């Protein structure tokens, strides 16, 4: 399988002067165009946990595997540069796709996204075995002159802004989301941001992570959380089932929104909210506070503890 | 599992100023100390193919997963810098290790090797699922001022040198080998090398790959191939079984030697052979020739085709 697949890769993966030797040598040489820091992130997706190969489209699975990594680069305000892709494919099973055809379908899903974000495919490893599909992507990025946006730079009093709308990602967004790379780079270039994280596990839990890394607590304004149409749709669908949840609960706790949560000074936040510089809405969802922990506050101003609910990896 | 494991990582993975933010943020920032090229390589090992979790020691599996990547960096004459480690662990099964204990055992195997080669663990992803153990490592390295050693720089007339001795790796060397990083860097620094590759799939097939990438053919001097004690031992063990093979056949075709095969001019090769600058022997095993293909030549000087036998990934 591997040699045939390498032939396919040679014909279909564009060569890129920034990433040399990847498909023809033991390793690739990635050029950082003069910079000497590289940002690196990795995510591994597995059948039965992150997707279900029986029902999900391999194109979308391949795209998602790259997209989640680009979202991590966005969270650091890093510009994507290259990625390596490791795949282990289930050996032929009755009724299932042949490994080669599955490998190609995964790549056909991720290559357009790589093109869109100018990510060079710098190498990989493709094998078969007796087990479920696993795909592991490591992405490399470059910092802007502003340096990395980290989780730890927030301060009490900072406003919390979120891009887009939240919840119900399971209805499709988890596969077709566009990583907020352009948004992060634009915000980082124009404004002085203090801290940032991408919402991979849910607003509540990821917000509590940013707050904890910044050594403070956070309040979420529950009446301002931007609820997605899918969160509402999901609530409708779940009515009278045992998984019933409000749309707000979905927006607070559903994983895989892949939106950005940013902490910045109230002044800068107001500027961003006024000018709305992104193609998607930016919403003021809360603030960092000196009291540790996660809190919710409704229209009445009443503050109560909020559990850092979300998708917990097991 | 993941949070507990991250706590373990925080306590056991040394922090390193060259790789910041890896365990605390969405991505790590790896410093290339002034250089602006990064070498990247990735390898994924799977239960049932690369190891057998039922019988093999998880310490050794973890070590191996990092070591094969360092061997790829060595093949490029790159100095190891950082690695990210993705692991997907089989969910609790009767009689099997708990995922957390398995994850820790893998890391306990790889951390000493990381320390030995000054590799910073810059991040990773650890999950569980219903499937076999998969471990994927991506390693980053830095080039020396000489640039990368590639597969493609060989020329007809170059001598082929190999480090160490070959074959029988399955008896233990595949787990306890030391990647030839120091050897590659020393040779690249002191001598003008033309091409190099690490022997991961077997001398015959990897030699044919180097020759093909260099646009030439190669002759292996079968009477000069350094045969390991394990290759001889394996031959003894296999006597009168249906897998009977000579020690030379093992040395030519067994995978996972992780020795270096180097092409350089006859003059430079003679210098290296005379001075034997490494802790392991360097042997003259063949030469590149203008006639494409892979050839073997014995003491009598008779040349015959040699099949590029080796471990072919399927």
Q: How confident is the model at residue A222 (pLDDT cuts 50, 70, 90)?
A: very high
| pLDDT of res. A16 | 72
Beta bridge partners of A29: A20, B39
pTM of the model: 0.92
| pLDDT of res. B14 | 72
Q: Could you tell me if A82 and A18 are in contact, meaning their C-beta atoms sit under 8 angstroms apart? A: yes
Q: Which tokens belong to A103? A: 């490998």
Q: Which of B32, B47, B128 sits opposite A38 (nearest CB)?
A: B32
Nearest to A16 by CA among A26, A31, A34: A31
Lowest mean pLDDT among A10-14, A167-171, A245-249, B52-56: A10-14
First to last CA, chain A: 32
Residue B41, min C-alpha distance to chain A (Å): 5
Average pLDDT rounded to a whole number, residues A127-136: 94
| pLDDT of res. B94 | 56
| pLDDT of res. B75 | 95
- Between positions 63 and 102 of B, the ones with CB within 8 A of A are 72-73, 75-76, 78, 82, 84, 86-88
Continuous segment of H or E residues that includes residue A235: helix A229-238
Those residues with Cβ within 8 angstroms of residue A256's Cβ, 6 or more apart along the chain or in another chain: A169, A170, A173, A174, A177, A200, A311
Q: Which tokens belong to B257? A: 């030697």
| pLDDT of res. A90 | 93
Average pLDDT rounded to a whole number, residues A104-123: 92
First to last CA, chain B: 32
Treating both helix axes as pointing N-terminal to C-terminal, what angle do B99-116 and B58-75 enclose, rounded to 10 degrees? 40
Q: Which of A140, A312, A314 sits opposite B38 (nearest CB)?
A: A140
- Other Cβ atoms less than 10 A from the Cβ of A3: the count is 10
- Whether A197 has its CB under 8 Å from any CB of chain B: the answer is yes
Beta bridge partners of A217: A289
Q: How confident is the model at residue A23 (pLDDT cuts 50, 70, 90)?
A: low
Q: Which tokens belong to B153? A: 């720089």
Backbone phi, psi, residue A117, to 5°:
-105, 15
Q: Could you tell me if A59 and A178 are in contact, meaning their C-beta atoms sit under 8 angstroms apart? A: no
| pLDDT of res. B295 | 96
- Whether A144 has its CB under 8 Å from any CB of chain B: the answer is no
Reported as a single tens digit per residue, the pLDDT across B224-268 is 999 999 999 999 998 878 778 899 999 999 999 999 999 999 999
ipTM: 0.90
| pLDDT of res. A274 | 97
Instruction: Tell me whether residue A249 is exposed, middle or buried, using C-beta atoms within 10 angstroms of its C-beta: 0 to 12, 13 to 18, 19 or more.
Output: middle
| pLDDT of res. B240 | 78
Percentage of chain A exceeding pLDDT 90: 74
Whether A26 sits inside 8 A of B41 (CB atoms) is: yes
Whether A314 sits inside 8 A of B2 (CB atoms) is: yes
In the block, which residue shows the tokens 């056949």? B249
Q: Could you tell me if B36 and A81 are in contact, meaning their C-beta atoms sit under 8 angstroms apart? A: no
Residue A224, min C-alpha distance to chain B (Å): 26
Q: Which chain A residue shows the shortest CA-CA distance from B42?
A: A124
Residue A168, min C-alpha distance to chain B (Å): 23
Q: Could you tell me if B266 and B159 are in contact, meaning their C-beta atoms sit under 8 angstroms apart? A: yes
Tell me what percent of chain A is helix, strand and coil, each rounded to the nearest 5.
Answer: 30, 30, 40
- Whether B229 has its CB under 8 Å from any CB of chain A: the answer is no
Instruction: Tell me whether residue A34 is exposed, middle or buried, using C-beta atoms within 10 angstroms of its C-beta: 0 to 12, 13 to 18, 19 or more.
Output: exposed
B97-to-B53, B108, B113 alpha-carbon distances in Å: 10, 15, 23
- Between positions 123 and 142 of B, the ones with CB within 8 A of A are 123-125, 127-132, 134, 136, 138, 140-141
Whether A72 sits inside 8 A of B26 (CB atoms) is: yes
DSSP state of B98: P
In the block, which residue shows the tokens 């730890």? A152
Backbone phi, psi, residue B137, to 5°:
-120, 135
Is residue A314 predicted with pLDDT exceeding 50? Answer: no
| pLDDT of res. A24 | 61
| pLDDT of res. B98 | 86
Regions of chain B where pLDDT drops below 50: 314
| pLDDT of res. A134 | 97
């Amino acid at each position: 399988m591997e040699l045939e697949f390498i032939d396919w890769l040679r014909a279909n993966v564009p060569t890129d002067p920034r990433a040399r030797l990847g498909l023809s040598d033991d390793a690739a040489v990635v050029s950082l165009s003069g910079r000497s820091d590289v940002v690196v992130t990795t995510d591994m997706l597995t059948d039965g946990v992150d997707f279900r190969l029986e029902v999900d489209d391999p194109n979308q699975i391949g795209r998602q595997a790259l997209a989640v990594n680009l979202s991590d680069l966005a969270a650091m305000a890093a510009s994507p540069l290259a990625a390596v892709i490791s795949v282990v494919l289930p050996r032929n099973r009755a009724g299932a796709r042949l490994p080669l055809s599955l490998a190609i379908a995964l790549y056909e899903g991720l290559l357009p996204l790589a093109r869109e974000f100018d990510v060079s495919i710098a190498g990989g490893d493709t094998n078969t075995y007796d087990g479920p599909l696993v795909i592991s992507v490591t992405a490399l990025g470059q910092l802007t002159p502003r340096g990395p946006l980290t989780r730890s730079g927030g301060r009490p009093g900072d406003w919390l802004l979120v891009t887009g709308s939240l919840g119900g990602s399971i209805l499709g967004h988890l596969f077709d989301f566009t990583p907020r790379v352009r948004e992060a780079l634009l915000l980082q270039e124009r404004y002085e941001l203090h801290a940032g994280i991408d919402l991979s596990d849910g607003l509540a839990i990821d917000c509590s992570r940013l707050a904890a890394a910044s050594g403070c607590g956070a309040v979420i304004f529950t009446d301002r959380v931007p609820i997605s149409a899918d969160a509402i749709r999901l609530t409708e669908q779940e009515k009278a089932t045992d998984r019933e949840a409000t749309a707000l609960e979905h927006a607070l706790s559903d994983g895989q929104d892949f939106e950005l949560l940013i902490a910045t000074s109230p002044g800068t936040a107001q500027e961003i909210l006024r000018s709305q510089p992104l193609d998607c809405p930016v919403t003021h969802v809360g603030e960092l506070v000196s009291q540790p922990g996660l809190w919710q506050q409704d229209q009445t101003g009443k503050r109560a503890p909020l559990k850092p609910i979300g998708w917990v990896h097991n």
